[in-house]
Amino acid sequence: MTETPAAPPAPVSMGEAFGYWLKLGFISFGGPAGQISMMHQELVENRRWISEHRFLHALNYCMLLPGPEAIQLAIYIGWLMHRVWGGIVAGVLFFLPSFFLLALLSWIYLAFGSVPAVAGVLYGIKPAVTAIVLFAAWRIGSRALKNGALRAIAAAAFVAIFAFDVPFPAIVLGAAVVGAIGGRIAPHRFKAGGGHGASDKSWGPALIDDHTPTPGHARFTWARVGTFAAVGIAIWALALALLAQQAGWQGALTQMGWFFSKAALLTFGGAYAVLPYVYQGGVEHYGWLTGPQMIDGLALGETTPGPLIMVVAFVGFVGGWTKQIFGPDALFLAGFAASAVATFFTFLPSFVFILVGGPVVESTHGDIKFTAPLTAITAAVVGVIVNLAVFFAWHVWWPQGTAAAPFAGAFEWFSALLTVAAFAALFRFKFGIMPVIGACAAVGLAYRLIA
């Protein structure tokens, strides 16, 4: 049995932290749960840069925010250790490897997607993605839907988006209103359950321990909070104004900046929750990509490290390529530029939320509770994710189906069987996402080459 260290580790240099955050950007597979687990094991257990309680305290705050909680947690810890630049470095390195890799895969997909081998791999991955989304709905729902009221909200959200095509922001707003009212009438039904509670485990003294005083740069002052909020809003407004100046407000890049800014504020419940909104905008409203391409993009996003919301980089790349924003002779440049715009506007709010709210969080080390409106939003998110799984299954099992004739064409029985097998592997046999995707890709390739 390993003896618990008696003294905290030596202070960490910015260079050492840079190396860790860069490494994390390349190995952060497994979605937010896996990424948070990786950070906990490395930063709390092995390196002891931060204590268990301070880690969970930061995580509780990130769970309340819209946006990818894993990258926000990295920004928070980087900021707490090495001031503003530490947070920026941690956050940027978290998604930068994924951004470049996804841009490359998007180009291969658009330029060579019709090659039989590539088409076969994608044929196998699509059922896996359908199963992964359905599994995500079950995983979130099993934690969030603790009573009949929350299950009713989830069912209403599903019906609203599936049957009436209600916009995702309206569903979020409606759920928040129901939660606010329900929290007053029946507060016991809108308490958050299954949250990230404190742990009694200890791996020895940490650099930022339970009772370590808050560093000067992280202490709350109205001036500091106001400054970071003003700077964040100014950066966002300047970037959007520059795009509008170059291409006009209706230009594709400007509209992407505006759209993904809104999407970044709606990602309660993780990437799966905001995907229906991205679909509504990217596919139905702007026509940047098609429904099947959206499924392919999620498949590529699942196979790369970094937060799953990086699928927006694929959406942007395909949109820039499709709209030929720089002309027919500069398709890769158009795709890369649009991908960069989508990524920038998606992640900018996460940095602002941490730099503005971090000092408030550090002013108290008590647990942060979910509010009743946020609990209701989380319940609604489950219904929205189920709708997403239904949408993906429809496109995968009836690829020739349309809104007017949803079951047109032949039923893809092999894809349906592969979906069931993938879900069983995730749910019953507890396989990881990457092995399931790899196995489905191999089976799909073999089937298409033989059939």
Question: Is the predicted pLDDT of residue 285 greater than 80, yes or no?
Answer: yes
Separation between Cα atoms, residue 32 and residue 62, nearest integer Å: 12
Residue 198: the pLDDT is 41
pTM for the whole structure: 0.76
How big is the CA angle at 283 (ends 278 and 286), to the nearest 5 degrees? 95
Residue 202: the pLDDT is 64
Which tens digits make up the pLDDT trace of 77-131? 999 999 999 999 999 999 999 999 999 999 999 988 767 777 788 788 888 888 8
The residue with greater pLDDT, 213 or 343, is: 343
Which tens digits make up the pLDDT trace of 404-436? 888 988 899 999 999 999 999 989 998 877 788
Sign (positive/negative) of CA torsion 256, 357, 24, 28?
Answer: negative
Residue 55: the pLDDT is 86
Torsion angle, CA of 181/183/185/190, rounded to 10 degrees? Answer: 120
**Paired strand residues for 50:** 208
Separation between Cα atoms, residue 205 and residue 106, nearest integer Å: 45
Residue 365: the pLDDT is 53
